[in-house]
Amino acid sequence: MSQRTPPFAMLLAMAMASPLALNIFAPVMPSLVDHFGTTPFTIQLGFTLYLLSLAFGQLISGPLADRYGRKPVLLWGFALHIVGCLLGALAIEVWQLLLGRVLQALGGCTGMLLARSILLDQHDRDKAAGLLGYITLGIAAAQALAPALGGYLNLATGWQSVFWLSLAMGSTVWLAAIIWLPETAQPDDQREPLAALFRRYPQVLRNRQYLCFSLSSTLIAACFFAFITSAPFVADQWLGGNSADYGNWFMLVAAGFFLGSMTAGRISAAQGVGRMMVLGHSLSMLAAIGMLASFHWQGVSWLGLFGSMALFTFGRGLSQPAAQSAAISATPGAVATASGLLGFIQLLVGSIIAQLTPRFIEVDVQLLPVTLLVASGLALVVYRMGKL
């Protein structure tokens, strides 16, 4: 195990690559429906399958990283991510597009997982929570830029360009990791059967604090996924906007996440994870109430949709680093496994809600803020059940 501290910029880039690939896809979904002559439900699978693949990828990558070390798992993962980007960019049938999205996610998940794990390898819980706030800040920046870039690239050069941009990002991370990323963990004895490592998952799930904090974080994250799959179609069908309009307004949402994450990075160590989770979840609930009231009294508007979600994601930026740090640090001795399981829970639940919520809004667009309100309220309740 290397005693060197890995460059923080390296960890940021690792964590940002997959969110970039995930979110850059959203604004081009209506265009892909027309290009491939298919249904919105099929194209939404490109987002949902990405989330599912991230979920299962992290579930597998966690034990592999605990056994073989962080660096080799990251390098193999990003090689797979690069292949997925190429397949998506060159797709001529919709199944090839969807397969490319799956491979992108299976590989890119290693960056998200291992950025958290490496920080927790080298720092205590409260210090790691502050640094995770800055990691989340980088993710917020990727989320801010990706939809805007995707929207403009789609209009200027076509949907394939969003895959080429992801390819450039993934290749940069892969090469940088070869040069600058040290190994930060002592790998397990490789003579131990791999199946034995997966038996850690039931042990982690029996930890009440881990389960409650993970579910609390998951419910808030799932709301974001529900929004990002629904909002492009709300913008297209209810507001008459195009992919660039969506990207421009989405920057307001990402700015909320950015500011929340930046605030978390500054104050988490002093305030502690408990206060940060309560404050963040409460603000997210308030935002959901505001969106519902706006839709009910004024109808769907750009500001009512994206302004309310900006406050929601500000709350998420405050709460998510604290919830992740509290959950993972509750399971000493299996940090990467616990981190991978957390990612799996978040993304599995998020993918289900992301695929269902667009169906809900076909019935009534007000079901979008209702979904956000119910989930954020439950997140606060679950936190109370497992608080320290």
Distance CA(73)–CA(5), nearest Å, equals 18
Looking at the predicted structure, is the pLDDT value of residue 145 above 90? no
CB atoms within 10 A of CB 160: 17
Identify the band that residue 85 occupies on the pLDDT scale cut at 50, 70 and 90.
Answer: very high
Q: What is the mean pLDDT of the chain?
A: 85
Distance CA(224)–CA(253), nearest Å, equals 10
Looking at the predicted structure, is the pLDDT value of residue 191 above 80? no
Whether the pTM exceeds 0.85: the reply is: no
Mean pLDDT of 247-276: 84
334 in Cβ contact with 66 (< 8 Å): yes
Looking at the predicted structure, is the pLDDT value of residue 194 above 70? no
The alpha carbon of 90 is separated from its chain's Cα centroid by a whole number of angstroms, namely 25
Looking at the predicted structure, is the pLDDT value of residue 65 above 70? yes
CA dihedral 138, 57, 203, 352 (to 10 degrees): 80
Looking at the predicted structure, is the pLDDT value of residue 113 above 90? no
- Per the model's pLDDT, the better-predicted residue between 120 and 84 turns out to be 84
Distance CA(185)–CA(171), nearest Å, equals 24
Mean pLDDT of 234-246: 87
Mean pLDDT of 220-241: 88
**Given this model, what pLDDT does residue 23 score?**
86
- Per the model's pLDDT, the better-predicted residue between 150 and 180 turns out to be 150
Place of tokens 């099929």: 42
pLDDT > 70 fraction of the chain, expressed in percent and rounded: 89
**Given this model, what pLDDT does residue 129 score?**
67
In the chain the domains, ranked by start, together with CATH numbers, are 8-183+206-386 (1.20.1250.20)
Identify the band that residue 156 occupies on the pLDDT scale cut at 50, 70 and 90.
Answer: confident
Identify the band that residue 33 occupies on the pLDDT scale cut at 50, 70 and 90.
Answer: confident
- The three-state DSSP-derived secondary structure of the chain is CCCCCCCHHHHHHHHHHHHHHHHCCHHHHHHHHHHHCCCHHHHHHHHHHHHHHHHHHHHHHHHHHHHHCHHHHHHHHHHHHHHHHHHHHCCCCHHHHHHHHHHHHHHHHHHHHHHHHHHHHHCCHHHHHHHHHHHHHHHHHHHHHHHHHHHHHHHHHCCHHHHHHHHHHHHHHHHHHHHHCCCCCCCCCCCCCHHHHHCHHHHHHCCHHHHHHHHHHHHHHHHHHHHHHHHHHHHHHCCCCCHHHHHHHHHHHHHHHHHHHHHHHHHHHHHCHHHHHHHHHHHHHHHHHHHHHHHHHHCCCHHHHHHHHHHHHHHHHHHHHHHHHHHHHCCCCCHHHHHHHHHHHHHHHHHHHHHHHHHHHHHCCCHHHHHHHHHHHHHHHHHHHHCC
Closest CA to 334 of 114, 62, 79: 62
Mean pLDDT of 9-37: 88
**Given this model, what pLDDT does residue 19 score?**
87
Distance CA(187)–CA(64), nearest Å, equals 9
Place of tokens 């998020």: 350
**Given this model, what pLDDT does residue 366 score?**
92
Place of tokens 């640090």: 329
pLDDT digits (tens, 9 = 90+) for 207-222: 888 888 889 989 998 9
